[in-house]
Chains A and B, each alone.
Chain A
């Protein structure tokens, strides 16, 4: 199976809170899992990525947690800010990238 399932579809978080977006994949051949961030009117931009040989990767306020046995990975945004309001896409790849459906995040002041 080639799908990457992403949830929730939309998320509202208060400023300073933690935003959590989850993704699940089916293809065990996938070995590269990036997250892209897209602001309105702009194209997606790479935010952070992980390989399945590590369980966690942190870059600033953004952390990917990876559970290989469950075939799940998630993005955590700590101390969420209004400027983080965007659509977030997870993806999985073993050759070409398969994207999730996207999560619209809104961070309220």
Chain B
């Protein structure tokens, strides 16, 4: 285990569904991140939370809604997604939100939007 656990591992949803992705870290870190990974593309930062406060929203469409109830848990609520949103969604954590702070990634949720 990486110390960052993501559930579910796979998710298939229709465009009208509402679902949530969950991330939990047991590393005592204070910063948590959502990344989108599409084939042959760079990892794309979506959101950053530092001490439970959102510090970055990288122009993500409102159909993605993050929630960070505490420093150990991070959610990504999904609604009315589009097929192009199909991707691997990675959660990461780091001790602090500083550039030299190593990111610890979970194994991701593979999302397919039909």
Contact = CB atoms under 8 A, between A and B. Distances in A.
A44 B33 CA distance: 13
Interface string A26-42: 00000110101000011
Interface stretch (A57-65, A68-76, A87-95): A87-95
A50 to B, nearest CB: 11
B105 interface: yes
Given A43-B4, A43-B92, A49 B43 contact: no
A44 B100 contact: no
A43 B48 contact: no
Contacts of B92: 43
Nearest to B48: A96
B42 A98 contact: yes
Nearest to A44: B105
A98 B106 CA distance: 19
Interface residues of A, number: 26
Nearest to B106: A43
B90 A44 contact: yes
A102 B56 contact: no
A46 B104 CA distance: 8
B100 A49 contact: yes
A9 interface: yes
Given A34-B102, A95-B99, A43 B42 contact: no
A101 B105 contact: no
Contacts of B99: 31-32, 93-97
11 contacts: A34-B102, A44-B43, A46-B102, A46-B103, A93-B100, A95-B99, A96-B48, A97-B103, A101-B40, A101-B42, A102-B40
